[in-house]
Structure 1
Amino acid sequence: MAVDGVDIKTIGVFALVGLPYTIKFLWSPIMDRFVPPFLGRRRGWIIIAQIALISGIAAMAFNSPKQAPLLMAVLALTVAFSSASQDIVIDAYRTDILREKERGAGAAVFVMGYRIAMLISGALSLILSDNIGWHNTYLLMAGLMTISLIATFLGPEPEEKIIPPKSLHEAIWGPLKDYFSRRSAVMLLLLIILYKLGDAYAGSLTTAFLIKGVGFTPTDVGTINKGLGLISLIVGAMFGGALMTRLGLFKSLLFFGALQAVSNLSFMVLAWIGKSYWMLIFAVAFENLSGGMGTSAFVALLMSMCNQKYSATQYALLSSLAALGRIFIAPTSGFLVSAIGWSLFFFVTTLVALPGLWLLWCMRQSIENLKQY
């Protein structure tokens, strides 16, 4: 849209096409209740979503956002809806298919795949558009989705037969009744909100801090923070997933969560020292390694909290709830920096992480009992 000369106000309004990711839990019960006539309850819906994505992305290649903005908006919304729907059912499939001991590694592979996909659809697509044009770039991205189709066809079915809800009413209310019938249900929800809150709070202004607060160039930030950060996060996710098989869910959440909190202090040190490339490399690597490990454990926690009968709806609800704290606390970050400065800001983000760790410690027994679900 920017390349085509669309005005900035219209571009801003187009941000609304991302709404399906926020409200995806509204139609997740349909994917729990109804079973497509091919490939089972999960893979059948995945194929439907992927075909819709291929069609939508390819159609965007043949339209101009400047000449037909309304049509492009409809297509973009269709792609976002299909993508959010794919998220719903892939999260449910991962929850249904993985054994308890496999959840850490499965969560790590999920994080790695997600980050690589963001790199391909973000940085690589921008580079390609400069060389082969947006038309061919969109067609190439649609073509890459065929890899996903092949993976879906080859994917196994769950070992145990899972009986879906018998009615749409059960699919809507059953997940809530099932969840709130458990002990510590409300406290577990609070833990979901708090666990990565400090990490998210610091991350909301990291790029702004590196450019405005310390004086690194956008190239420095792009190369080190984005490039090294991506590699570190993937390594952290894979290492964390492997370590979880030895530590178990509770110890992993506690250890990785503590690392997440401490990693924020490395940016506080960078604010003290000033423009230091070695400190930047250390801070970025440490923060993303611990963040990747924490994300693996957190995804495993969400999977452990889902009943396979309602996994699409429960995971969609829990993951939406996990973003709730970040949505409300992130807007305050700029005001806090203005009031107390960068060093104290990152110290405060570490303090923000402590209630989640304390609550996690208090709920040890509840976390260890999650495997029964």
Structure 2
Amino acid sequence: MAVRGLDSPVAMVLAIGGLYVGQSVISGVTFGALPSVMRDQGLSLDMIGLTYLAVLPWVLKFLWAPAVERYRLPRAGESRSRSIVLVGGLVCAAGLLLGGLVGAGNLAAIVAVILVVALAASTVDIACDGQAVESLSVKHHGWGNAAQVGGAYLGSAIGAGLFLVLVAHLGWTHAMTLMAALLVLLGLPFVLSPAPPAPAHRPHRPSLRSALARPELRRGLALSALYAATQKWGMTMLGPFLVDAGLDLASLGIVNGAGGMAVGFACALLGGACVRRWGSRPVMILALAAQALALAALAASDWTKGTPQEFLVALALVSSSGIMALGFVALYAQFMALSDPRQAGIDFTLLQSMDALVSMMGGLGAGWISQHYGYGACFGLSAALAFMAIPITARLSSRPKPLSSHEEQGAMSELAPIKS
């Protein structure tokens, strides 16, 4: 039964925020906590690296997004977003329970489990993003993206931080059981929320071809790639840089966990307010300029040596959590604006997949540059790239081209009952 009162924009933002927290709990457990637990049980580093296969569903989810979107938006009748989220969430929870039973030391079994969980979570993400674009008016996009980015920081802190504490005190099986229960609780507000009014007929058939045929969507893919490169590539070496600067692992854990969550969540909320007031383009440009300055400061600290650790920690928090949260709230608001509401799950997924692909590639390149030329070269090149990206971002993030008259009529007829 649907819960009354959950059809307001605020309730919808909180509902999708719960899903984003849950997805990031899974990512935190997989990429933050699981490698540490495996290492503690004596597994080799090359074997532990196999856990990163779980990133593949997030990179490749655009391949099955059309099928998910066609199921989610039938020719007639209400959206099936909630049923997708329900089934996908239960698969994720069951996967965590199974992972708790097989144990972190059983490498083949745990990799198979996390791949299934990642596949289910990435599919839920398609439905969640599509529902957010459909249900939230343009003026509420910033808050929706604040929930997305803020939820990511909160979920990562739970999955990579709290989970390890639970493992230490309760054991692997009980910790995984609690994470599974938390996923179910986080998904309930969305599953129990009422479906929006359904149009009488949906003539549009969602497809990748329809997405890639739109020039503004192709421009958005370029923007996604550029922004991921400028905001993330330099940050991949921040942890090793702080360790080599003398910061111990315990302190680094506090910085990445509690500090990163607090700063990231606060800046995500600030980003949502700024996007609502000024739009996404100026906020993205501001974040690029700030990140360029932060990266330049990191490069200078490596070249000059002797920079106080307190300053480096503060700079790391500002750049990796604060500025990135601010910028990505604005970027995802741009993604929402670029997505065709008739197939938002496909369009938004394409843009996110480009982000994930470029981020993965950049991690390899940043490591090679740092190894051969030093951290200063990595941070300095990233700062220069961020500065040069400002005018390109301003051009690529211009207002999306309106739909053609034929497309506009179709979209209005399909969405009028939903947006009213």
Does residue 1:11 correspond to 2:48, yes or no? Answer: yes
Question: 2:97 touches 2:176 (CA, 8 Å); kept in 1?
Answer: yes
Question: 2:99 touches 2:113 (CA, 8 Å); kept in 1?
Answer: yes
Question: 1:57 touches 1:139 (CA, 8 Å); kept in 2?
Answer: yes
Question: 2:72 touches 2:127 (CA, 8 Å); kept in 1?
Answer: no
Question: 1:56 touches 1:78 (CA, 8 Å); kept in 2?
Answer: yes
From the superposition, tell whether residues 267 and 49 of structure 1 become closer, same or farther in structure 2 (CA, over 3 Å). Answer: same
Name whichever of 99-108 and 193-202 sits farther off: 193-202
Query: What secondary structure is seen at the aligned counterpart in 2 of 1:274?
Result: coil
Deviations 1:199-229 (A, max 9, x none): 21111100111111x2222233222354323
Question: 2:369 touches 2:377 (CA, 8 Å); kept in 1?
Answer: no
Deviations 1:24-67 (A, max 9, x none): 1121112211149998321221111111112221122222354x
From the superposition, tell whether residues 3 and 161 of structure 1 become closer, same or farther in structure 2 (CA, over 3 Å). Answer: farther
Once the two structures are TM-superposed, the CA of residue 340 in structure 1 deviates from its matched residue by 4.2
Deviations 1:266-318 (A, max 9, x none): 32343335241331243123212211100100111111111122111211111
Out of 21, 24, 45, the residue aligned to residue 61 of structure 2 is 24
Q: Which residue of 2 aligns with 1:54?
A: 93
Aligned counterparts of 1:162 and 1:300: Cα–Cα separation in 2: 29
Aligned counterparts of 1:268 and 1:258: Cα–Cα separation in 2: 15
Question: 1:112 touches 1:238 (CA, 8 Å); kept in 2?
Answer: yes
Deviations 1:172-224 (A, max 9, x none): xx343244234x54333222211231221111100111111x22222332223
Aligned counterparts of 1:149 and 1:30: Cα–Cα separation in 2: 22
Name whichever of 100-109 and 71-80 sits farther off: 71-80
Out of 279, 285, 288, the residue aligned to residue 257 of structure 1 is 288
Query: What secondary structure is seen at the aligned counterpart in 2 of 1:34?
Result: helix
Aligned residues: 364
From the superposition, tell whether residues 28 and 351 of structure 1 become closer, same or farther in structure 2 (CA, over 3 Å). Answer: same
CA RMSD of aligned residues (A): 2.8
Percentage of identical aligned residues: 22
- TM-score with structure 2 setting the length: 0.78
Q: Which residue of 2 aligns with 1:181?
A: 214
Out of 222, 225, 234, the residue aligned to residue 253 of structure 2 is 222
Does residue 1:81 correspond to 2:124, yes or no? Answer: no
| 1:157-236 equivalences in 2 (<5 Å) | 157-158=195-196, 161=199, 170-171=205-206, 174-182=207-215, 184-212=216-244, 214-236=245-267
Once the two structures are TM-superposed, the CA of residue 70 in structure 1 deviates from its matched residue by 4.1
Deviations 1:77-124 (A, max 9, x none): 221211111222112222221110111111011111121111112211
Out of 287, 299, 311, the residue aligned to residue 332 of structure 2 is 299
Q: Which residue of 1 aligns with 2:135?
A: 97
Instruction: Tell me the amino acid that sits aligned with residue 389 of structure 2.
Output: G
Q: Which residue of 2 aligns with 1:277?
A: 309
Q: Which residue of 1 aligns with 2:380?
A: 347
Once the two structures are TM-superposed, the CA of residue 366 in structure 1 deviates from its matched residue by 3.9
